[in-house]
Amino acid sequence: MRGQAIDGLSELATDPCKDQGVGDWARAHRDEVAGHELLFDASGVVVWPNESILIVADLHLEKGSSHAERRIFLPPYDTAATLAALTKAIQYYAPKTVICLGDSFHDRRAATRIADGDRETIFRLQAGRNWFWVSGNHDPEAPTGLGGDSCDELGIGNLIFRHEPTAGPTPGEIAGHLHPAARIRGRGRSVRRRCFASDGTRLVLPAFGAFTGGLNVLDPAWSGIFSGRRFTTCLIGENRLFPIPARALLRDRLSGDFRMNKSRTRSEAGIPGSSD
The band of 267, judged by pLDDT with boundaries at 50, 70 and 90, is very low
165 part of a folded domain: yes
Q: Which domain holds residue 65?
A: 9-268
CB within 8 Å of 225: residues ≥ 6 apart: 165, 167, 178, 197, 202, 204
Q: 79-110: per-residue pLDDT in tens?
A: 999 999 999 999 999 999 999 998 888 676 76
What's the whole-number mean pLDDT along residues 235-255?
A: 89
32 part of a folded domain: yes
C-alpha angle 224-229-233 in degrees, rounded to nearest 5:
100
255 part of a folded domain: yes
CB within 8 Å of 147: residues ≥ 6 apart: 122, 123, 126, 131
Q: In whole angstroms, give the CA distance from residue 187 to residue 5.
A: 7
106 part of a folded domain: yes
What φ, ψ does residue 63 adopt, rounded to 5°? -65, -40
63 part of a folded domain: yes
Nearest to 164 by CA among 224, 112, 212: 224
Beta bridge partners of 182: 193
| Whole-number pLDDT of residue 70 | 56
| Whole-number pLDDT of residue 263 | 37
| Whole-number pLDDT of residue 261 | 37
| Residue 60, phi-psi category: left (phi > 0), alpha (psi -120 to 50), beta (remainder) | left
Burial letters for 132-155: b for 16+ Cβ neighbours within 10 Å, e otherwise? bbbbbebbeeebeebebebeebbe
Asked whether the CA dihedral 158, 164, 165, 166 is positive or negative, the reply is negative
152 part of a folded domain: yes
260 part of a folded domain: yes
Instruction: Between 90 and 185, name the one with better pLDDT.
Output: 90
The band of 72, judged by pLDDT with boundaries at 50, 70 and 90, is low
Number of domains the chain contains: 1
Give SS3 for 50: helix
Q: In whole angstroms, give the CA distance from residue 7 to residue 83.
A: 35
1 part of a folded domain: no
